[in-house]
Amino acid sequence: MISKNIIVDTKHIDSTEKALEVGIDLVRHLPGPLETETSEKLTEIADVLNLLAKFVIDEARYYRIERDLQFRID
């Protein structure tokens, strides 16, 4: 049986992921006109933010799974 804590954790991770995606999209699509160099730098920043967001979300999911498995073993 899936515990309520896992469901809450999953919803929290999913909503955090969505918030990060929205923030990254905002950086990618700032209203213009922007100079080409500025636009390219913002794209690079958004790419790095995306990598960091993916890492944080994946780590949170991994920890949740690991914690659940440990709970079942104990």
CA distance 63 to 69: 10
Q: pLDDT at residue 4 above 80? A: no
Determine the Cα–Cα distance for residues 74 and 63; give it in Å rounded to an integer: 16
Distance CA 10, CA 27 (A): 26
Share of the chain above pLDDT 70, in %: 93
Please give the mean pLDDT across all residues of the chain: 89
56 pLDDT higher than 90: yes
Prediction pTM value: 0.78
Residues 6+ apart with CB under 8 A from 31: none
Q: What residue ranges do the domains of the chain occupy?
A: 4-73
